[in-house]
Structures are given as structure tokens and as C-alpha cells.
Amino acid sequence: MATSVRRNCAYCVVALFCTRIRAVTTPAVSAVAVEAEALVSAEVLTASIDSMSTPVAAALAQAIDPATALVADTAQPAEPLPTELAPATPAEVLEAQPVEVAALAPPVEVTAEVVFVGYGITAPELGYDDYAGLDVKGKIVLMDPEVPVRPGDPAGAFPKWRPYSFHQYKLENAFDHGAKGMIYNYGPIGNPNNSYREGFIYHHVGAAVVADVFAGTGRTYAETIARIRKELKPRSFATGKTMTIKNVTEHHPEGVGYNIVGVIPGTDPKLREEVILIGGHLDHVGRMWELMPGADDNATAVAVGLGVAEAMAESAIKPKRTVVFNFFGSEEQGVAGSKYYVEHPLFPLDKTLVFINMEGPGGGDKISASGAKTYADFWAFIERANQKYVHRIIGGGEAAYPARPRQDSAWFFWAGVPSLTFGAYGKNAPYPTYHNTKDRIELIDSETMEDMARLFFMAIMDIADEEAVNFRVAEK
């Protein structure tokens, strides 16, 4: 009987884009708030708002009202959460979750010689310096992302190189060496994840520009990079090519990211102290949705998460354990939102059984998960739900985050929380869509999203009802 009810509720998730947006206007500013009726019986949605004194904070405080917009009528309201799991009050919400946002450069133009500097690294302790013997003052530097050693290096050398793989380090090191501009062989894509230095211009390029820079120098890019990786010795050189680069951008150090958290309290007096966390990041690459819509990265994940929340909230049977829906801000700017949550958790991390993260769940007809092989006991719930109700091709690999954080699940994984990232694959887009203008809804497979919502609903409800659950591999 219970299984039948749950299955029927899960299959009600058809309209996945289920939130309504309403404008909240104050004399000084118009804010937009999510009226998420999908999160019924959720006692509060928490948002990160810089200060209650600002017009935006006041507007969001009005919009995110646990007594109105976020709590729907239920026949049998759940008992209040225990103190250690109780959501923040509206006043506490307005003090929580500030996230610093990376900055962009002001308008600037540079014409200068291009100097190839390998990976842009100065690491005396490793005996490696891409800038050694070069004068890059006033010039434009060309460099690759990452480091010459890969995370899977059999000698285990990567951890020593890891700090030099961050975009921020590379830009700041170029600036410190006196360069006026930087062309980054990264894409070309839109990516706000970097530092800001006044008067310094930063630009992404791709293979065509790199080939032009190398043309006529007597060297090729592929051979040069291959030798750096093999010998772990710099191969930097002045190219003799002059380039003009110009960006018209804005610097907004006052930017604030938001983490949105919804809670469906567990019904069991003891088991409700344990948390199942599901979510994904809210942001794409800036407030320019018509130009850069970010449909699969990562609007699809938010839609799937809200679909699960809607089904669970409307179900006549509630989970015994607490289910938390967490949508992170500033993922594209250094994975800052999830980092802040891990450092300031609203629910104890040692009581968080698993984090189900989503990245691009609408980009194919098959479902994959990093971490499937790492957390076999959790994966058994996913496979069982798929075999009974969904019947999709699913699979996955190990959970491994040795390099710089690129997904919200990395911070939870490093904090000891079993973490998996789900996505879709199997349909190749007719053109690249990652962080460019072509990540649009026309390419989204909504049926895969619908099935993923069903899969999560069934698996989470089954996990929530288990008498004892421990997915932490090291503790077994």
C-alpha cells in the first residue's frame, strides 16, 4: 500500500519547472523571490542575505516568509524539528550565508608582445618556474590551465602541484610578474571564476588563437606542452607576435551569492535527526540569461530538485528522516556557496547521510553518477528504484576530487559526507554548449529529467525509512 502511494506520487512529477516567480518591490529596488510551493511542509527556506538593513534583504525577507509563501496546508503537520536541526528563523536567515563573488576587470585595452609561459607557475620548492629568465613587464602572457602533473600521476606528485592549478593563482602570478594582460587557453568559454587586478586584462582563447601565436616560431603548441609534461621543465619563450586585446567588463566587489535551503522534516522522533541532502547549484555565468541561459548547467538540476520536493511534499506518506533541498550560489565562482555551507552547516554534517548533487541532468538519455562505485550501499537504492520504476541506463564510477574543486560535491566529500554527482549523457549536442551562448532549453531532454526526479524520490523515500543507514565507507 505504501509503495503504491509513493509510486503514484512520484509519477505525478511531470511539470518539473514548478516554481512561480513573483516580483517584490520596495521603494529602492525590485527583487525577485521564489514562491516555492513545491516545498510544502518545509518550515523555512533560508537565503543568504548580506544585511537586513538593505532594501534587497528587506524584500527577500518579505518574500521568504515561513508563515505564508513557504508553508502549505497539510492534514497532519509534522512536529517541530529538534533544536539542533531546527531551521533558522527569518531574522537568523538574514544574517546567514554571505558568499563573496569573484570580480571582473574594468574596461581596458592592451597592445603588446605575447610571451608563452607554459602553465604560468612559479614554484621554487618544486624547482619549477615558467617565468625564469623572462621579462614579461608590460606584455601579454599566454598560458595553459592546470599543471604539468595530472591527478592520477603514479608517483603521487600531484598534491604538491595542486595549489598552482587554481585560475586565481595563475592570474595573480602573471600580474605580480608585471604582465599587462593574459590570454588563457581555456575554451574559449565564459568563466567568472578568477581574481581581479585593476588595469590587468584577462581573456579566454581556444586552439585557433594558440595556433596563430605559435605559427612561424619554429615550435608547435602540442610538442611544447608534451615536453613540459614529460620533463617537468619550463619551455617558455617570447613569441615575437604582437596582439591587441580589449575587454569591456565591470567590477562588482559588492556582489553577494545566495544559498537557498528547503526542509521537509522527518516524522520519526529519532530518525529525523539524520539528514538526506539533495541539490545543485543555482548560478550560471552571470546575470545575462538571454545571452547565456545555462539551461543544462544548471537550471535542469534545480528543476529536478524542485520536482522531487513537489512529489515528496504532496505525498500522503512523509519521510521518517529529514530531507533537505539545497540550491547553492556562486558555484561558478570558485564553488563558494557549498564551501560556505560546509563551513557553516545548517544541519550537522555528521548527521548528513548523503549528498545527492546534480550537474546537467538534462543533457542526455542515460544517467551517470560519480561515486556510484565508491558508495555501493547507496547505489543499491538507486539501482533498485531504477529496476522497479524507471528503467533507464544508469552507471557511474568512483568519487574522486583530487584537483581544485569543480563541483559542490567536492567540499562535502572532503568533509567526510558521502557525495555523488548525477548527470545525463548519451546524446551529443550538435555543437559545444559548455559555458557559452548555446546552452539552451531546446537541447534539453525533459524525459530524462522527469525520470531522474522519480528515481530520486523513490530512493530517498526508501533510504528515509531504513532502520539503520551508514554510507560512510571509512566507518565500516
DSSP string, 285-330: SSS-TTTS--IIIIIHHHHHHHHHHHHHHH-SS--SSEEEEEEES-
Cell triple for 206: 581556444
pLDDT tens for each residue of 447-460: 999 999 999 999 99
Region 278-301 average pLDDT: 91
* CATH number for the domain running over 108-247: 3.50.30
What is the helix, strand, coil percentage profile of the chain, to 5? 30, 20, 50
pLDDT of 338 > 90? The answer is: yes
3-state secondary structure of 98: coil
Cell triple for 170: 595563475
Per-chain mean pLDDT for the chain: 79
Residue matched to cell numbers 525509512: 465
Q: Which amino acid is at 181?
A: G
pLDDT of 75 > 90? The answer is: no
Question: CA 434, CA 186: separation in Å to the nearest integer?
Answer: 12
3-state secondary structure of 169: helix
Q: How confident is the model at residue 474 (pLDDT cuts 50, 70, 90)?
A: low
State the pLDDT at residue 465. Answer: 95
pLDDT of 76 > 80? The answer is: no
Region 322-342 average pLDDT: 93
Beta-bridge partners for 111: 244
Q: How confident is the model at residue 210 (pLDDT cuts 50, 70, 90)?
A: very high
State the pLDDT at residue 247. Answer: 85
Closest CA to 289 of 439, 143, 181: 439
3-state secondary structure of 33: strand
Question: CA 303, CA 282: separation in Å to the nearest integer?
Answer: 10
Question: CA 172, CA 169: separation in Å to the nearest integer?
Answer: 5
Question: CA 435, CA 284: separation in Å to the nearest integer?
Answer: 8
Q: pTM value? A: 0.75
Share of residues in the chain with pLDDT > 90 (%): 61
**Bigger pLDDT: 461 or 190?**
461
Fold of the CATH domain 2-101+253-475: Aminopeptidase (3.40.630)
Residue matched to cell numbers 513545491: 38
First to last CA, the chain: 34
State the pLDDT at residue 188. Answer: 85
Domain extent listing, the chain: 2-101+253-475, 108-247
Question: CA 84, CA 70: separation in Å to the nearest integer?
Answer: 21
DSSP 168: H
State the pLDDT at residue 164. Answer: 95
Region 354-364 average pLDDT: 95
| Residue 144 backbone dihedrals phi, psi, to 5 degrees | -95, 155
Of 61-65, 226-230, 259-263, 316-320, which gets the smallest average pLDDT? 61-65
State the pLDDT at residue 107. Answer: 64
**Length, in residues, of the chain:** 476
Question: Half-sphere exposure of 263 toward its Cβ, with a 13 Å CA cutoff?
Answer: 25
Tell me the CA distances in angstroms from 332 to 247, 282, 405, 406, 435, one per residue in order.
20, 9, 10, 8, 10
Count CB neighbours of 208 within 10 A. Answer: 9
